[in-house]
Chains A and B, each alone.
Chain A
């Protein structure tokens, strides 16, 4: 781990029985960057995300967030520490409204305990109106405000991806892991998504983005890290990635 990385891993490895999905991955994410993580299907990108975000225990290796070791901490603890993620296949709370999906995210709410919910009505209502304003502002930012009262299960897949990002933003995260945010999303929503990511990034949020769309990665991500069969096979700038023969053969060529 290097001192100036906001997020780093060291020798991160995950076995599924005898199959090694992620194999000794050590990486350093520069604060304020938009790092692209590429690699063919099954390369281990999602598994790597899951380990970083605490959803999956590493078989070995370590994870650090802002210098502190977070290996093995559960996802709920990491969200409170400023590490948020979205899912490759969106996971909204389907039978809840879009607004509720977003409002519930901030940790340690007064009304989230039994005592608070039953007896601290005044504090709770104040908090709720504050959260509602914040949630509406974020939904506005993600162009979802018009859908605030819709059940989240009824909106389109692309809107669900925006919703997941909105939900993550409620926790004011320092680092956001996005797993294939543009996959299956129509071009106009993708454009909104990219604009929003770049705007947040300008304000200091660090992103790590798994993406198949090479155009997306080359244009918006720097640096680029490539995984294949669980290992890092390339690390460099987008321009270097573009001309790297290894990537062209193994991955870019295949998808082009």
Chain B
């Protein structure tokens, strides 16, 4: 029983971390129409950034500043933001498919750096992390698993609430206008360059937060954690859940991560021996099939974007309530 609960906690921790990244992508794609084909690079920038800042010093290795956890994680998020800002300045003028290709290229370059810049990233060996936050204080591994899940869910909730506030405000309204028609948005005075860049940087910082949580959970990071498939998984989660809908993004993360985990189990148990080497590839194909299938049959996702949703409705309700009171 404890085993099952602890496994479920592990599962939910991973799904929750990925859900945070999906929320970041939802701000970029769902609300602003920015096609980020290199999600893994921003997730990775947060991951490596957190490690470098929080990890123990090692000979011949840059970083290892052993900073307090909150500072390390915050720094990782900031590093992801700076990477996004630079990439954004260089690529956001390139629209649509160009942005997708450019960000995909950034992810490939990022992976190359992690594999080869030994002094910075530890190369293929990776970086050894720091003790997980409060692990010593809590002691018991089962309890600690639950604690870390709580931490992840708290961050997920904070990100969700913050984003809901943002996208349901005039700010989100302008982002969607830019997504719908940039020329038109400019004709009514909106500056797409600034807004795109902001949305791209914030979305990427959220991905960086997910990356930072991910590596602090494993207390280790290596290029293997940042395989290109991660970008596709996160995209699949958003498309299945519903681009433009933050709840959909979270739902999609849990569903796809569940499907991924189950298919991994099933394949390792039931696939013939000769096929065992290829189970990873079969999962890749499954992800591809899910994305394409969803785009063909339900492109709006399981929880579609709602059309009317900015703040004025809440304001309106409030106002009318007050008026009613006066009338009474």
Residues of B within 8 A of A (CB): 162, 165-166, 169-174, 176-177, 180-181, 183-191, 198, 202, 305, 307-308, 310-312, 314-316, 318-319
CB-CB < 8 A to A113: which residues of B? 171
- Tell me the smallest distance from the CB of B2 to a CB of chain A, in Å: 41
**Could you list 7 further interchain pairs (A-B, Cβ under 8 angstroms) beyond the known A116-B169, A167-B188?**
A74-B191, A87-B184, A101-B177, A112-B174, A113-B171, A114-B202, A127-B170
For the complex, is A55 an interface residue (Cβ under 8 Å from B)?
yes
Which residues of A sit under 8 angstroms from B319, Cβ to Cβ?
129
Interface flag for A128 (CB, 8 Å): yes
- Chain B residues closer than 8 Å to A20, beta-carbon distance: none
Contact A151 B177 (CB under 8 A): no
Bound state CA distance, A26 and B314, in angstroms? 50
Please determine whether A118 and B307 come into contact, CB atoms closer than 8 angstroms. Answer: no
**Nearest CB on A from B304, distance (A):** 10
Task: Name the contact of A114 in the complex, choosing from B166, B181, B312 (C-beta under 8 A).
Answer: B166
> How distant is the Cα of A127 from the Cα of B169 in the complex, in angstroms?
11
- A76-104 contacts to B, CB under 8 A, are 76-77, 79-80, 84-85, 87, 91-97, 99-101, 103-104
Inter-chain CA distance A109–B187, complex, in Å, is: 16
> Is B171 within 8 A of A104, CB to CB?
no
Most chain A Cβ neighbours within 10 Å, of B183, B202, B312, B316: B312
Scoring A residues 98 to 130 as 1 if CB is less than 8 Å from chain B, else 0, what string do you get? Answer: 011101111101111110111000001101110
**Which listed residue, B173, B307, B318, touches A104 by the CB 8 Å rule?**
B173
In the complex, whether A226 has a CB less than 8 A from a CB of chain B is no
Known: A75-B187, A91-B184. A124 touches B169 (CB 8 A): yes
Given contacts A103-B310, A125-B311, A132-B312, contact A117 B165 (CB under 8 A): yes
What are 27 sample pairs from A and B whose C-beta atoms fall under 8 A apart? A53-B187, A74-B186, A75-B186, A76-B186, A79-B187, A85-B187, A87-B183, A92-B181, A92-B184, A93-B176, A94-B181, A95-B176, A95-B180, A100-B173, A103-B312, A106-B189, A111-B169, A114-B166, A114-B171, A116-B171, A117-B166, A117-B172, A118-B165, A118-B166, A124-B169, A129-B315, A132-B312
B187 close to A132 (CB less than 8 A): no
* Contact among B162, B165, B183, B198 for A91, CB-based, below 8 A: B183
A117 contacts B187, C-beta separation under 8 Å: no
Please, how many angstroms separate the alpha-carbon atoms of A74 and B191 in the complex? 9
| Cβ-closest chain A residue relative to B300 | A95
Q: Is the beta-carbon distance between A105 and B189 smaller than 8 angstroms?
A: yes
- Measured CB to CB, the closest approach of chain B to A86, in angstroms, equals 8
A131 near B312 (CB under 8 angstroms)? yes
Residues of B within 8 A of A101 (CB): 177
A58 to B190, CA, bound (A): 21
> With a CB–CB cut-off of 8 A, which chain A residues contact B311?
111, 124-125, 128
A55 contact set on B, CB distance < 8 A: 183, 186-187
Complex Cα gap A32–B17 (Å): 60
Does A168 belong to the interface (CB within 8 Å)? Answer: yes
Checking A85, A100, A105, A168 against B310 with a beta-carbon cut-off of 8 angstroms, the contacting residue is A100
Interface residue tally on A, bucketed by range: 35 or more
Q: Is the CB of A112 within 8 A of B305?
A: no
CA distance in complex: A94, B311 (Å): 19
Taking CB atoms, residues of chain A closer than 8 Å to B308 are 97, 99-100, 149
Residues on B with beta carbons closer than 8 Å to the beta carbon of A157: none
Query: In the complex, are the beta carbons of B188 and A168 less than 8 A apart?
Result: yes
The smallest C-beta distance from B82 to any residue of chain A, in angstroms, reads 17
Residues of B close to A79: CB separation below 8 A: 187-189
| Interface membership of A171, Cβ < 8 A | yes
- Inter-chain contact B315/A112, CB cutoff 8 Å: no
B242 to chain A minimum Cβ distance, whole angstroms, is 13
Interface contact A117-B312, CB-CB below 8 Å? no
Q: How far is the CA of A167 from the CA of B181 in the complex (A)?
A: 14
Chain A residue, CB-CB nearest to B314: A125
Find the residue from A75, A99, A101 having the highest chain B CB count within 10 A.
A75
Chain B contacts of A112 at CB under 8 A?
170-171, 174
| Known contacts A104-B174, A114-B166, A151 near B184 by CB under 8 Å | no
What B residues does A106 contact at CB under 8 A? 189
Q: What's the Cα separation between A95 and B300 when bound, in Å?
A: 12
The answer for the CA separation of A167 and B202 in the assembled complex, in Å, is 29
Q: B190 contacts which chain A residues (CB < 8 A)?
A: 76, 104
A26 → chain B closest CB, angstroms? 24
Q: Binary interface profile of A, 20-64, with partner B (CB < 8 Å = 1, else 0)? A: 000000000000000000000000000000000101000000000
When distances are taken between beta carbons in the complex, the residues of chain A under 8 Å from B176 are 93, 95-96
Once bound together, how far apart are the Cα atoms of A205 and B187, in whole Å?
Answer: 18
Complex CA distance for A92 and B186, rounded to whole angstroms: 12
Q: Which of A131-159 contact B (CB under 8 A)?
A: 131-132, 149, 151
Q: Do residues A105 and B180 form an inter-chain contact, with CB atoms below 8 A?
A: no
Most buried by B among A74, A105, A112, A167: A112
